[in-house]
Each structure stands twice: as structure tokens, then as C-alpha cells.
Amino acid sequence: MKKTGLYIAIGAIVFIGIVVFSTLGLRKHRVEVCMEFNGRTNCRTASGETPERAKSAAIQNACALIASGVGDSIACQNRPPVSLKNLD
């Protein structure tokens, strides 16, 4: 019975280690993007595995708060950022 508990504890520690390692691995690149759409401006920071993924996530997050509806969100995301800062 004691061996089963030990195996469960080891398995849980390994699982937690894998989750933490994989989560921290995604934070290799961090950027801050400011977007402007219909007279409104919003800045957001995002992290990603690559600089392009981080930029894309930041643009999507910024546009989500200043655009309304799917069409506006797409139009906002297709605009170039007002500013882009690498925070690495």
C-alpha cells in the first residue's frame, strides 16, 4: 500500500513539473503593442513562443477592447500597430 502512494506522489510531482516547464517555455518572447481603431487606442502586452506569435496575441487582445463585432475586430487586426515594443 505504501508503494502505491509513493508512485502517485512521484507521478503528481512529475506532472506538475511538466506543466510548469511547458508554461514557462512559452514566455520566450514578450511584446507590448498599441493599436488604434475608430479613434480609440489600446495597448496590451503578450508573451509567445516566437516574436510573431507574441505580437499577434497582443494585437488580438488590444483590438478586442476597442473594436465591436467580428468585422471591426478583423479590420482592427489588419491595421499596423501604432507602437510595438519588445520586452525581452
pLDDT above 70 for 23: no
pLDDT above 60 for 26: no
The pTM assigned to this predicted structure is: 0.71
Residues 14-30 have a mean pLDDT of: 73
| Cα–Cα dist 68/79, whole Å | 15
How many domains are there within the chain?
A: 1
| Cα–Cα dist 34/29, whole Å | 17
The domain of 48 spans 2-86
In sequence order, the 6+-apart residues with CB closer than 8 A to the CB of 85 are 31, 32, 33
| Residue 47: CB atoms within 10 Å | 17
Length of the chain measured in residues: 88
Q: pLDDT band for position 33 (50/70/90)?
A: very high
- Convert the pLDDT of each residue in 36-88 to its tens digit: 999 999 999 998 888 999 999 999 999 999 999 899 999 999 999 999 999 87
| Cα–Cα dist 54/33, whole Å | 9
